[in-house]
Amino acid sequence: MGNSYKNCKIQDNTAELIYENGSLFVTIFENNIVHVAQKPGIESVAIEEGFIPKAATPDVTCKDTSDAKGTAAEAGVSDAAVKAVISARDITVYVKDNEKLDIYYKGKLVLSDYEKARKKSEKNPYEDLAIAELEGHTVGKDEEKTDAVTIIKKLGKDDAIYGLGDKPGCLNKRGYSYVNWNTDDPAPHVDSFKSLYKSIPFFIVLGDEYCYGIFADNTYKTTFDFGYENTDYYFVEHEKGELDYYFMPGNDMAEVVGLYTSLTGTTPLYQRWIYGSHQSRWGYYTQDEVLDIADKFRELDIPCDVIHMDIDYMNGYRVFTFDDKKFPDVKSLSEKLADRGVKLISIIDPGVKKDEDYFMYKEGMEMDAFAHDTDGSVYENAVWPGTSVFPDFTKQSVRSWWGDKTKILLEHGISGIWNDMNEPASFNGPLPDDVQFEYGAHEKVHNIYGHFMAKATYEGLAKNDGGKRPFVLTRAAYAGSQKYCGGWTGDNHSIWAHIALSLEQVCNLSVSGLAMCGSDIGGFGSDTTPELLVRFYEAAVFVPFFRNHSAMGTRRQEPWQFDETTIDAVRKTVKLRYRFIPYIYDLAHECEKTGAPIVRPLVYEYPADMHVRNISDEYMLGSFVLVAPVIAPGKEAREVYLPDGDWYDYYTGEKYSGGRYILADAPLDKVPVFIKAGAIIPVADGEIRSTEDITEDKISILTYPGKGSFVHYQDDNETFAYRDGAYNAVEYTMDGDKLEKRVLHKGL
Ligand code: GLC
């Protein structure tokens, strides 16, 4: 059935394309982002009544479409298939029948709707049997979805695809299909998993002659098929809701990530200790044990900044309570830890225990804080504390109530909050699609539940923690969550494949805006081995969120559970990380300003180099540092691809020319690190136990001959005062081996 184009009305920078069966709105932002939205139910020619489509999901974008400035104009029509041409800034949109668009950027065709019908492969009549067999790893069956909304675009022959958050599989997502539906699956995550904890509907297409991002803002269950069904096209299929996407063209990945984070928010600069080493385990049973852990790090001279308290500290897993026998005085614990330069982070899950004598349950019931069943009763399921109810974080009143409870933790000296189980996970089967939240039914809220929980927590800390920058760690997230939280990749295992997976995930999370990310070092489930633990540490050496965490019942994996060789290798790795913390902090500041991630896949820095499109067993820290960890057992060396240019071995200073593979020496206690010619890297010298020991007089500037520039940044490491100018910024420029220094800002 055709849907013919009728005409077009333009208001400022929005064009309403009027078709026989409704309208399509195209808005061109001043920075060349193009917002395409279909609003069923909106009468034709709505624009004349002042209708301008706004962001689909509240709180995800920082800018509403209506904030964009400028004027679109209709131009002449050149070709019979093209019914109208809309242009503004560097964008030209060719409008065709059936709501098909071709979008040109700087005169070049970049994004084309696929105009033919999808070529679905024939289904074998017994296929459902096989699907049932694999059920645990498959989300839903391929049923006809009558309300589905599909975006379908041509796939270029050489297009590579990145992003989509924490999805497993290769760095380059081309040829794979995924489902956005926040999922907690404890089985070891493998390439064939379609879904994991996070749903970030943003991806980057890197072609030979173009680069662009697509952010499809729809929170319902969504399939992303990147040339899996057919190599001629890719599609995004939302089970329900509206078509609403942003097209973001740029000259390279950096520009595209910049546009995406300008729209959904950048990862903020955290307090500096967050970039230090974190130690955690589900099963630190008493507060004395937590203190002993901190002491052991000091005794063994392994730097450490943070210890996490998992659910063990609570009274019967009731959130915002403490077990008065095992954790009788957390305030004194946090004070003792503070004397040792160590902070405390505690876990908070969303499920509230159903218990008439428990203040969270009572208060929540009184204020109608929990999600409902369709019959109006409060919906119940089970999580750690047994029968539990689920706060409706889409409600402002619930977010403020929850946020204020952070005071309880702050009063006990807790410095950051770890939000877990917020997919939401549930033990008595999944929440039904029709569980009711203020924002809509569970099927619409599921993928943003974790986002709104993190927002509640962030805002609570921002209000109650004396002006300190809040730190929230989350398992579930949506687009834009990076404004409120960092994320870790959930329950990985102590297996070699998960070192590789952690790097793929960190690289894709980083280009998906969630730059504060990392995986459990050593692996969460299963038993580690000493060698695996060391290589896990080395792989994460410059990953923004750096935490050793493991599950109760698995082999313990603090470094001292093993021999001297292991302890020495871990110490060396953690010290290497601390040496680079001034550089990491500078990059984190840059990330808040521009969205440029701290850790980057090689393809981000070298998009034109076809060799790096699928490399994720190497990554970059900023533009200057390349890390090539060993991710397999028994190795003493590994091959390293060095992109074009000159590189220096960090340890020996030996110079290599790039554009080729080399063999790097990698005994157990060494992670190969190469530095780009022209690099300027602020590093910390001297004895360091925690980030507290890194004072400005201990920071020196490493330089490597060549051409380069870098801005070193300083502030109070803790508060938001830098946003009012309380910081120093010095620009260093290298030419050959001459280093020049220029003060850009002096505010301290
Ligand atoms: C979940 C988390 C894990 C945590 C455990 C107990 O499995 O992903 O990190 O240790 O719950 O709270």
Q: 3-state DSSP: the chain helix, strand, coil percent, rounded to 5?
A: 25, 30, 45
- The half-sphere exposure of 396 on its side-chain side, counting CA atoms within 13 A, is 2
Choice from 279, 347, 489 to test ligand 1 binding pocket (greatest atom count within 8 A of CB):
347
Position 43 pLDDT exceeds 90: no
State if residue 420 touches ligand 1 by the CB under 6 angstroms criterion.
Answer: yes
pLDDT one-digit tens code per residue, 200-230: 999 999 999 999 999 999 999 999 999 999 9
Position 70 pLDDT exceeds 80: no
C-alpha 659 – ligand 1 centre gap (Å): 42
C-alpha 402 – ligand 1 centre gap (Å): 21
State if residue 473 touches ligand 1 by the CB under 6 angstroms criterion.
Answer: no
Atom of ligand 1 nearest to the CA of 186: 7
Which residue's CA is minimally distant from atom 12 of ligand 1? 311
- Residues 455, 472: contact at Cβ < 8 Å? no
Position 137 pLDDT exceeds 60: no
Structure tokens that stand for 679 in this block: 């690099």
State if residue 490 touches ligand 1 by the CB under 6 angstroms criterion.
Answer: yes
pLDDT one-digit tens code per residue, 465-500: 999 999 999 999 999 999 999 999 999 999 999 999
State if residue 347 touches ligand 1 by the CB under 6 angstroms criterion.
Answer: yes
C-alpha 213 – ligand 1 centre gap (Å): 33
267: how many CB neighbours lie within 10 A of its CB?
Answer: 26
pLDDT of residue 507: 98
pLDDT one-digit tens code per residue, 540-578: 999 999 999 999 999 999 999 999 999 999 999 999 999
Average model confidence (pLDDT) across the chain: 94
- What residues pair up with 84 in beta bridges, in sequence order? 95
C-alpha 491 – ligand 1 centre gap (Å): 7
Please state the length of the chain: 748
Question: Residue 249, preceding bond cis, omega within 30 degrees?
Answer: no
pLDDT of residue 62: 74
pLDDT of residue 75: 65
Choice from 491, 526, 545 to test ligand 1 binding pocket (greatest atom count within 8 A of CB):
491
> Which stretches of 265-324 are DSSP H helices?
287-299
pLDDT one-digit tens code per residue, 314-340: 999 999 999 999 999 999 999 999 999
Active-site position among 491, 586, 592, 617: 491
pLDDT one-digit tens code per residue, 475-484: 999 999 999 9
560: how many CB neighbours lie within 10 A of its CB?
Answer: 16
Return all residues near 375 (Cβ < 8 A) that are at least 6 apart: none
Atom of ligand 1 nearest to the CA of 311: 12
Surface-to-core class of residue 121, CB atoms within 10 Å of its CB (0-12 exposed, 13-18 middle, 19+ buried): exposed
pLDDT one-digit tens code per residue, 702-724: 999 999 999 999 999 999 999 99
Position 139 pLDDT exceeds 60: no
pLDDT of residue 120: 79
Share of the chain above pLDDT 70, in %: 94
Atom of ligand 1 nearest to the CA of 347: 12
Position 3 pLDDT exceeds 90: no
- Residues 394, 402: contact at Cβ < 8 Å? no
Atom of ligand 1 nearest to the CA of 425: 1
C-alpha 420 – ligand 1 centre gap (Å): 7
Which residue's CA is minimally distant from atom 5 of ligand 1? 282
pLDDT one-digit tens code per residue, 231-260: 999 999 999 999 999 999 999 999 999 999
Reported confidence tier of residue 55, pLDDT bands at 50, 70, 90: confident
State if residue 282 touches ligand 1 by the CB under 6 angstroms criterion.
Answer: yes
Atom of ligand 1 nearest to the CA of 349: 12
Atom of ligand 1 nearest to the CA of 551: 10
In this structure, is the dihedral angle defined by the CA atoms of residues 412, 414, 415 and 421, taken in order, positive or negative? Answer: negative
State if residue 284 touches ligand 1 by the CB under 6 angstroms criterion.
Answer: no
- Residues 699, 713: contact at Cβ < 8 Å? no
Q: Whole-angstrom Cα distance, residue 198 to residue 448?
A: 9
Q: Compute φ and ψ for 454, nearest 5 degrees.
A: -65, -40
Reported confidence tier of residue 44, pLDDT bands at 50, 70, 90: low
580 closest CA partner among 195, 364, 324, 275: 275
Surface-to-core class of residue 649, CB atoms within 10 Å of its CB (0-12 exposed, 13-18 middle, 19+ buried): middle
Position 97 pLDDT exceeds 60: yes
C-alpha 460 – ligand 1 centre gap (Å): 23
pLDDT of residue 383: 98
Instruction: Decide which of 603 and 2 is more confident.
Output: 603
Return all residues near 246 (Cβ < 8 A) that are at least 6 apart: 33, 34, 35, 36, 213, 214, 215, 217, 263
Q: Whole-angstrom Cα distance, residue 269 to residue 471?
A: 10
Active-site position among 59, 420, 558, 618: 420
Active-site position among 102, 244, 423, 504: 423
C-alpha 619 – ligand 1 centre gap (Å): 27
Dihedral angle at the C-alpha atoms of 392, 451, 495, 179, nearest 10 degrees?
A: 90
C-alpha 473 – ligand 1 centre gap (Å): 12
486 closest CA partner among 526, 457, 463: 457
Q: Whole-angstrom Cα distance, residue 540 to residue 519?
A: 8
| Residue type at position 200 | I
State if residue 312 touches ligand 1 by the CB under 6 angstroms criterion.
Answer: no
Atom of ligand 1 nearest to the CA of 280: 10
Q: Compute φ and ψ for 16, nearest 5 degrees.
A: -95, 115
Which residue's CA is minimally distant from atom 10 of ligand 1? 282
Q: Three-state SS for 60? A: coil
C-alpha 36 – ligand 1 centre gap (Å): 39
Q: Whole-angstrom Cα distance, residue 55 to residue 62?
A: 9
Is 491 annotated in the active site?
A: yes
Instruction: Read off the DSSP letter of residue 610.
Output: G
State if residue 311 touches ligand 1 by the CB under 6 angstroms criterion.
Answer: yes
- Cα angle, residue 570 at apex, residues 664 and 674 outer, rounded to 5°: 30
